[in-house]
């Protein structure tokens, strides 16, 4: 396998052509999306995909999301979904039956017969997809099990020297990963994310088959995940003296997810806030309402708070 450069190039948002050039060479490049930064590679190139797994330290059984420029491209790789494609471009990932002639590296789908597909909305990611003119597999651009990056600096903190380049597109607007729905049968939620399930159910016209409290189906959704180094205590109104407090709404803290109690702002600041307190041994978090984006925020907080002796998968 061609070796990876020691120095990671930092590109401006105008660097789409340079990024596409590196990707065509089989290199791996971190790119901004509206959710979190992704670590992209040519989804058809097994060596490039292997570099992504190696750079992240990601277990081979955890498949990657394939990003496409246009909803019309989906039919080349998968059976198109019967619903929800109207939410693309956007922070939605659909699991679909993989076409046997899709031409994707088998490692992208971890050898499975389904593929997770997303058509992202971020202008820089779209510019790279258009310049590259092919499918880009991209997990979040963080070492496996750690907090997802929402800025180029976060990416470099975890992966500098392990990836060819990062495009700095500024902070990600949503700040939390895409919602994942399995569309192979009755639509079923696999991961809470940046599109609230209320919105998805309104588009479907009926409830999703099952919320995330069912059996784990997305292999990356093991319990411990998105973890800061210290321990996390949730639904705290009064912190212990030795805890770093993260506030929300009227409950103040050393830092706050949103002083005004705005869930979109809280999602956008969640990972940055957890990173800012990464060197603190004990962190407490104010209650977040279990509605709309609050569901995805609570999902990430529960995983960040989970015991660390479990295998974390990405």
Q: Is 112 in the site for ligand TXA (CB under 6 A)?
A: yes
Q: Is 314 in the site for ligand TXA (CB under 6 A)?
A: yes
* DSSP structure class, residue 280: -
CA distances from 63 to 150, 185, 225, 229 (A): 21, 19, 16, 25
- Closest to ligand TXA by CB, 23 vs 284, is 23
Q: Going by C-beta distance under 8 Å and a sequence separation of 6 or more, which residues neighbour residue 111? A: none
Distance between CA atoms of residues 180 and 23, nearest Å = 25
Binding mask 44-63 for ligand TXA (x = CB under 6 A): ------------------xx
Backbone conformation region of residue 126, classed left if phi is above 0, alpha if psi is from -120 to 50, else beta: alpha
| Least spacing, CB of residue 187 vs ligand TXA, in Å | 13
Query: 124-155 as b/e, with b when 16 or more CB fall inside 10 Å?
Result: bbbbbbebbebbbbbbbbbebbbbbbbbbebb
Binding range to ligand TXA, per CB under 6 A, among 88-96, 195-203, 239-247, 285-293: 88-96
Q: Going by C-beta distance under 8 Å and a sequence separation of 6 or more, which residues neighbour residue 177? A: 35, 36, 91, 140, 148, 191, 193, 194
| Least spacing, CB of residue 310 vs Mg ion, in Å | 16
- Closest to ligand TXA by CB, 18 vs 122, is 122
Name the helix (H) or strand (E) containing 300: helix 293-305
- Closest to Mg ion by CB, 16 vs 49, is 49
Site for ligand TXA in 254-273 (CB under 6 A): none
Q: Is 140 in the site for Mg ion (CB under 5 A)?
A: yes
- How many whole angstroms from its chain centre is CA 256? 22
- Closest to ligand TXA by CB, 182 vs 243, is 182
Binding range to Mg ion, per CB under 5 A, among 62-70, 168-176, 266-274, 306-314: 306-314
Q: How many residues bind ligand TXA (CB under 6 A)?
A: 29
Name the helix (H) or strand (E) containing 31: strand 29-31
User: Which of 8, 27, 33, 150 touches ligand TXA (CB under 6 A)?
Assistant: 33
Q: Which of 175, 68, 80, 179 is nearest to 118 (CA)?
A: 68
Select the binding partner of residue 36 from Mg ion, ligand TXA, none (C-beta < 5 to 8 A, by kind): ligand TXA
User: Which of 178, 258, 298, 312 touches ligand TXA (CB under 6 A)?
Assistant: 178
Q: Which of 279, 285, 277 is nearest to 238 (CA)?
A: 285
- Sheet of 282-285, strands arranged across: 231-233, 282-285, 244-247, 255-256
- Closest to ligand TXA by CB, 118 vs 300, is 118
Would you say 114 and 95 are in contact if contact means Cβ atoms under 8 Å apart?
Answer: yes
| Least spacing, CB of residue 166 vs Mg ion, in Å | 16
- Closest to ligand TXA by CB, 178 vs 192, is 178
Site for Mg ion in 65-94 (CB under 5 A): none
- Judged by the rule CB under 6 A, the positions of this chain that interact with ligand TXA are 33, 35-36, 38, 62-65, 91, 93, 95, 109, 112, 114-116, 118, 138-140, 177-178, 180, 190, 218-221, 314
- Per CB under 5 A, residues contacting Mg ion are 140, 314
């Amino acid at each position: 396998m061609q070796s990876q450069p020691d120095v990671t190039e930092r590109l401006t948002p105008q660097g789409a052509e340079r990024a596409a050039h590196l990707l065509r060479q089989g290199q791996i490049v971190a790119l901004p999306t509206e959710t979190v930064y992704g670590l992209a590679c040519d989804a058809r190139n097994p060596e490039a995909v292997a570099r992504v797994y190696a750079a992240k330290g990601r277990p081979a059984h955890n498949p990657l999301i394939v990003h496409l420029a246009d909803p019309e491209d989906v039919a080349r790789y998968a059976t198109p979904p019967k619903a929800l494609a109207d939410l693309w471009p956007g922070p939605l990932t659909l699991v679909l039956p993989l076409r046997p002639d899709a031409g994707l590296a088998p490692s992208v789908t971890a050898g499975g017969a389904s593929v997770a597909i997303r058509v992202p909305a971020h202008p820089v990611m779209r510019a790279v997809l258009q310049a590259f003119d092919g499918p880009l597999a991209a997990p979040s651009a963080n070492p496996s099990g750690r907090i997802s990056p929402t800025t180029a600096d976060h990416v470099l903190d975890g992966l500098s020297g392990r990836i060819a380049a990062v495009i700095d597109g500024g902070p990600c607007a949503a700040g939390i990963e895409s919602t994942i729905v399995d569309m192979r049968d009755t639509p079923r939620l696999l991961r809470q994310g940046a599109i609230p399930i209320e919105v998805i159910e309104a588009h479907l016209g009926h409830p999703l088959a099952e919320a995330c409290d069912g059996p784990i189906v997305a292999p990356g959704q093991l319990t411990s995940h998105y973890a800061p180094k210290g321990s996390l205590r949730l639904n705290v109104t009064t912190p212990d003296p030795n805890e770093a407090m993260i506030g929300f709404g009227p409950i103040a803290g050393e830092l706050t997810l949103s002083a005004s109690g705005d869930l979109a702002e809280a999602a956008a600041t969640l990972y940055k806030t957890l990173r800012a307190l990464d060197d603190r041994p004990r962190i407490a978090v104010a209650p977040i309402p279990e509605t709309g984006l609050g569901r995805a925020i609570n999902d990430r907080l529960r995983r960040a708070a989970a015991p660390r002796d479990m295998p974390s998968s990405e």
